[in-house]
Chain A
């Protein structure tokens, strides 16, 4: 009998990921691309990329689950599930000891409390605006002339932080401009920005509480500055999967496995 495969696609506001797993829930392949303007096209492209890497055809897929902010528009998915459930499922699969999942993406940040089976117990998610999310870091990195993948490390160069009072992306940007004009050191401003984001996610985490091992997922988990400052603030170690961005898509693939076997 032919091998069965399952796909999960996470259409995020920033990037789209696809993950393929086999019948034993082994991850075989993944892809990460920019979402761009057309979420459905991004989903198609990400899926084709992940399939091509392992030379599998679309017909070999037993089921596809879509998640992420663009999930409703993924036409070839058999089921849509929110990224909150998917990140919980993916994180539990990688770290069965997970009790708390912090997912920081481009426009959303979520703190998810899960039980020993990876099921949701409670969660919080930011409101409409992009204050304190990955987008905020992108805008600030650009404003301060840094590459995104170096931005977090710059935050760790200085022991001191210039306090930033605004996490609203628009206001914080003008605050940064005036701090630069007052000759505050760039590293200290960068640390201050990271501290502001960490304070915000910390406050969010307090409403559901921190339970068990804490897993960090989403693209912001690639930012060493956020990881280290958040570990200091939470006074615990954060477990970060090797590819934190694909955890939602992995969770979606696992849910496809559960639903379409």
Chain B
């Protein structure tokens, strides 16, 4: 059952419109609609705010500014993950970034709210802001860290400078990556419903518990009085790890007006009111022997951060467990700017980090005249090169070899710009991928009813990834039931608490918790039956019980689970299961636990215009045991496409004069469309990582991205001989290196 390509159990609900998203709940009746007014300056203060005209506009119930909001909680830095911390919004006259919320208009219809929002008249005292990342890199500082409370800001092993200085072959290059945003399909939205002293919050979030905690501490409410509902979430990619202005302001407005209030951010506002992957400037230095063995490796990342809300993307941490080398160095520095807050965007760290380091490895292969697959295999470490501990299950070489074989890598022509297909220059590139696997405390409950059906409950979310389906499989497997006898209930704060969807940990955390709950339930059931004189299993050895087809069997004698439950627990019987924090799990101390990938790409570059079009993409991955081969493949392919977009298209451009994102809709902020994506395949190696968890499963929601973009970049180099180190690789960066037109 586990691993099979079970159809999505929520699929029929989604295609028939019965899956209800945050903005669509109607249980509480007609709501009011909120529209957020954003600041039109990048830094300064609100000098005067006039809401009279807006307040008199048709349908308007209330206009809220900072003057109307009660005092808000402040973030508690002792919480390791900021998603659980308070998120004060509109708390005073200061403007810390362009688009920050300065007022909320609440009206009877969404059109009335938006029309009135345009009438809020704000006068600002503008202060000179810093918006230009590249212009002031020398002002970057070293943050205290640790990142996420656990990842060190800087590491060093051996003597990097000496090792690098004595290396016969060296690469020393800088790579830059742009601002990027998650931009999930479903906008950030919240419907807040007052219910006596309580508040019901329908919100699009990745972590229900974080949403509740953040909202409680911002609103200074008892968390028990906040009920979060998020059964369906239309994508998050990091941008819904924490709640934002839409949730906080809907809650304040609902409480002030004693009415349900809902707010959805517009696409343009998502560019201003959520979070951004910071732009980065990365220096990678590689020192190698002539046989390709690395002597020294350094990855130093400088990234933008909002000056008031420090965010460190663990970009350079990417290299820490990737290749062997005796002398190593990684570091992060931050450049304080007055731009949108940094937040996790899918594959934080690896996405920009591997663009740099895997491009550099390709440059080293060229310099050495060595096959890039072979170069990576030659630098395969036997233990984690920084921590010195063994790897749990490391199959990077397996991914590389299998990928090379399937792709036909041996037929690649190594000399750049030497393969042509009519108008097109053809190139092949590859890159390796790695992604840390994390574990966080998660609980789940499984209840078996007298009719033999099981219900799984956890506050875990399904953000489109397939949680409903895999937990159905895990519970069916755990109790020996057919999957249609299992119902999974997710995304409510009443359910057992978990760490939600994020960091690719959700599937493994929640599956392990459900599996353990099933084991506990089995024990209860068997113990009950073996002690029950009315049961055919009375007196049998509980240790020999097996579960299948809705029955428990001991040495040839079996009884239906429903009979045991009906006889002994007419109201059903339940059990809980849990996973612990990785910091409390010795495996995560004693082993280096990661997932791996190898990417192979064929591109065609127009010989005149430098338009880059993908022709083939293949990824081979190792992530322990896949819980559902189809949802796993969907995640990986989605990640690979994301990587291709990062290599070629995605870029949020800041206007250095105002601090505003100029590319603030999906017509100007480009992501791949169908026509961009060619024949694409993701292969998952069979595996089992028993050190990660009892199911042997590791995260793969972000793994597909890791290395995909670098493989595209390396293919572009192979096609054209032009190395672009400033991502994304748009045609104007390649065209100057193309040969002149001849015929």
Does chain A bind chain B? no
Chain A interface residues toward B at CB < 8 A: none
